[in-house]
Amino acid sequence: MRNSQEQALQSLIDDLRQRAAEAEETLAAIRDGSVDAVVVGGEGKDEVLVIGDDASAFRNFMEAMEPGAVAVDSAGRLLYSNARFRQIFAEDWDRLKGKLLSEVLPGPASQLIGKLINPDSHEAAPVSVSFLEKGVERNYLVSARPVHLGTVRGFAVTFSDLTERVRAEAAERAERIANAIIASANEAVVVCDRTLTVTHANFAAEALSTEKLVGERLDAAIPLKFPDATGILDIGELVETSLAGTPLRSIEAFAPMSPGARDVMVSAAPLNISDDEPEGCVLTLVDLSQRKKDERQMHLLMRELDHRVKNTLALVLSISKRTAASEETLEGFQGSFSGRIEALAATHNLLAGASWESLSLRQIFSAEVSPYTETGGERVNIIGADLSLYPRAAIALGLIFHELATNATKYGALSGEKGSIVLEIHPKTDAPSVEVTWTEKDGPAVKSFSRKGFGHTVIARSLSYSPHGGTTMEFEPTGVVCRIRIPASDVA
């Protein structure tokens, strides 16, 4: 009996000891913060009390936040996530709760954000990360701030969606690049939308219109006329053809309303931004005005050249026939013919050097007389202001000077040791002719040509193409005097 009482007592003591140990352990757990709720019994009804703040207000606040937000403890364990966060990762809370944030986030983002929620780390600056959300990359700015949740220290981590801003910045940058490309093009570049409204135009394009282009209708701002052969009626049709998928290249057109009314070469290509139908059209317009002007000048010059070659050949043929008729020997023909052709060539050279514009009379004289003697020396002098002659007069005068110099060398002032020649250029007046006088002195006594050969004909007739041109020869005892009348219309 006594033993059974002792056993019951011992059992009671053991039970009390165990309860005391449990009570001590419970108090220690509460003190060191490893529990955060207690069961309180009263009037036969148990109740759970959460130690510290009830986190429901905090959770309600997080739930209403637009950015994704989570609360984690110091180990990075998810204590709460709001709806936006769950949406980002397409997870429900039952699957997320208690997981480490690093298990939820993709690798690179996990490392960056891991530094933010590491209690030993001092990283506090927000980090930019990107995740695939429903297969589309989205950008987030992630920041973390320390918080207390009940007895727990942890972090509130927010995920602010920057995707639209990043996209807008990328689009803005792309727009700036596109504008820079268009602006740096030397040729006119115009971009219009499907309604023909101009959206971009560079400086060269603006020069094709009197109005500011952007915002205007292309067909009104730069109306173009196309040659019938192109089959295109107007610039609107050009754009429509391009939008239908057919790029058009190097089509000549005329821009009548552009300043200076310009010829242009137009190319049009569809503006493809996505896989959908083209959003507009890119047109380049090359100004052909200078090229057209050059082409017209070239055709003019070719016709002029053709004309001059024919004239020259006719002149050479005439010189050949007349020289043959006036010379009695082959040697005589060769000498005279060569001399005349060389005279012609000398003037031609001078004219070619001056682009067939006009020639100095002094230059022509020097070119023709210098083969026989030094010009500008004691024996040959030029007096009077120089004249500028047009090609027709220049060629004629070159032949005349050649014949006069030849005669002077054979029979006149240059045939002996003492004779001299003076060329006097009279100034241009209102008279229809300008006179130039060739005067020989101190040569042998002269007499009229005993035989008026082709040389005389050249002298007499070369300037007779005009009633105000011609020559008169006087055979003075002191030497030949030739008065040359150049049509004033051929003197510049």
**Chain contacts with another protein (rule: CB under 8 A):** 22-23, 25-26, 29-30, 34-39, 45-48, 50, 55, 73, 75, 77-80, 97-99, 149-152, 154
Minimum distance from residue 19 beta carbon to another protein (Å): 8
CB of 85 to another protein, least distance (A): 15
Phi-psi region of 227 (alpha: psi -120 to 50; beta: other; left: phi over 0): beta
**Nearest distance in Å: CB 36, another protein:** 4
Query: SS3 for 166?
Result: helix
Shortest Å distance, C-beta 50 to another protein: 6
In 3D space, the residue among 9, 137, 10, 159 whose CA is nearest the CA of residue 82 turns out to be: 159
Q: How far is the CB of 172 from another protein (least distance, A)?
A: 44
CA distances 70 to 50, 108, 422, Å, are 21, 18, 113
Sign of CA dihedral 377, 380, 381, 385: negative
Query: Which of residues 2 and 45 has its CB atom nearest to another protein in the complex?
Result: 45
Q: Closest approach of Cβ 102 to another protein, in Å?
A: 13
Which residue, 97 or 307, has its beta carbon nearer to another protein? Answer: 97
Count of Cβ atoms closer than 10 Å to residue 395 Cβ:
24
Other Cβ atoms within 10 Å of 305 Cβ, number:
11
Please measure the distance between the N-terminal and C-terminal CA atoms of the chain and give it in whole angstroms: 160
DSSP of 326-389: H-SSHHHHHHHHHHHHHHHHHHHHHHHHTTTS-EEHHHHHHHHHTTTS-TTSSSEEEES---EE
Of 7 and 26, nearer to another protein (C-beta) is: 26
The least CB distance from residue 127 to another protein, in Å, is 25
Question: In angstroms, rounded to a whole number, what is the distance separating the alpha carbons of residues 131 and 93?
Answer: 19
* Nearest distance in Å: CB 141, another protein: 26
Tell me which DSSP letter residue 225 carries: B
Q: Which residue has the tokens 């981590």?
A: 157
Q: How far is the CB of 35 from another protein (least distance, A)?
A: 4
The nearer residue to another protein, 96 or 238, going by C-beta atoms, is 96
CB 440 within 8 A of CB 377: no
Nearer to another protein, 37 or 317 (CB): 37
Q: What's phi and psi for 466, nearest 5 deg?
A: -125, 145
Q: Which of 102, 63, 103 is nearest to 80 (CA)?
A: 63
Give the Cβ contact number of residue 359 at 10 Å: 25
Cβ closest to another protein, residue 38 vs residue 305: 38
Q: Pick the closer one to another protein by CB: 94 or 228.
A: 94
CA angle in degrees (0–180, nearest 5) for 242-246-250: 80
Q: Which is nearer to another protein, 51 or 244 (CB)?
A: 51
Q: Which is nearer to another protein, 30 or 65 (CB)?
A: 30
